[in-house]
Amino acid sequence: MIVVGGGVIGLTTALALAEGGSRVRVWTREPVERTTSAVAGALWWPYHIEPEASARAWALSSLEVYERLAARPAQTGVRLVEGVLGETDPAEVEGWAAGRLTGLRSSTAREYGAGTGVRLRLPLIDMAVFLPWLRQRLRLAGGTVEERTVADLAEAEAAVVVNCTGLGARELAADASVRPVRGQLVVVENPGLDTWLVSTGPDGEMAYLFPHAGRLLLGGTAQDGIWSLEPDPEVAEAIVRRCAALRPEVAGARILEHRVGLRPVRDAVRLERAELPDGRPVVHHYGHGGAGVTVAWGCAREAAALVRAAASG
């Protein structure tokens, strides 16, 4: 089997297949460290993904995996971290998470003075550690990762092809419904924050602060239909300003890096079997929006089941 696409969805789907006994090759245009997944803020939360019911089920399934991986944060990059999700009611979260989230309660005014929020502990993933770890786990399971540009899915000489190309599916699957939602973030020296915060202002602009060792990720944006990968200085200044309004210690923090990623958004995740022009089965698995990391393990299991069914005829 060949999985086309080496982001978190492609790698996790390939791993689900490899650890189930299948021989798997991943073809990726970019090294995993330069995929869209590498830019993710990577707080576990089903953001900008449809259908909602499936996304929540996949997310909760993935949560079980991340909770186990958090026992080895140095190796996996996964930690369980306390934080506040602004503009959210605990009853709304409890309605779908059903007791699965640790420490869920209303936030205090000291924790979040900008409005109503919830305090809880969630997986926060350091993608610079997690993606290489995921690639190595795939290799240990017998899978391979090859850097290769694909112009046509039919190039993949395998009995079953798995399409995990995200935005690349616009061309490779002739699917104009998958579109970019541009995300920009600013990486600064961490002035001492050890909790995360997500907030949406009255103007609809979001701000988030995700702490990692020695650095803090500040975001963000959700610019629908924008393809530019160049950091916008004015957008970066606005991000820092919004974050500093929530956590004043951020003001003046030394900027380490600017990042831009394009979320592959679709009206609904495409997870289905189809056929290539030559009749071979292809399983499409893309369109996870801003929640690829959040839902990866849950939807990878479903994708792997589809692939195995296709392989068995």
- pLDDT at position 153, please? 97
- What is the model's pTM? 0.96
Q: Take residue 99 and report the two structure tokens written for it.
A: 């007791």
- pLDDT at position 135, please? 97
- pLDDT at position 115, please? 86
Backbone angles phi, psi at 51, to 5 degrees: -75, 145
- pLDDT at position 114, please? 85
Domain annotation for the chain: domains and CATH numbers? 2-311 (3.30.9.10)
Amino acid letter, residue 88: T
H/E element, 65: helix 52-69
Residue that has been written with the tokens 């089997």 in this structure:
1
- pLDDT at position 125, please? 98
Nearest C-alpha neighbor of 129 from the set 10, 19, 215: 215
Q: What is the pLDDT of residues 174-202, one digit of tens each?
A: 999 999 999 999 999 999 999 999 999 88
Consecutive 10-residue averages of pLDDT for the chain (313 residues): 97 98 96 91 94 97 98 98 95 91 93 92 97 98 97 96 98 97 97 96 91 94 96 97 96 96 97 96 97 98 96 84
Quote the Cα angle for 5-9-10, to 5°.
Answer: 35
Q: Are 78 and 69 in contact (CB under 8 A)?
A: yes
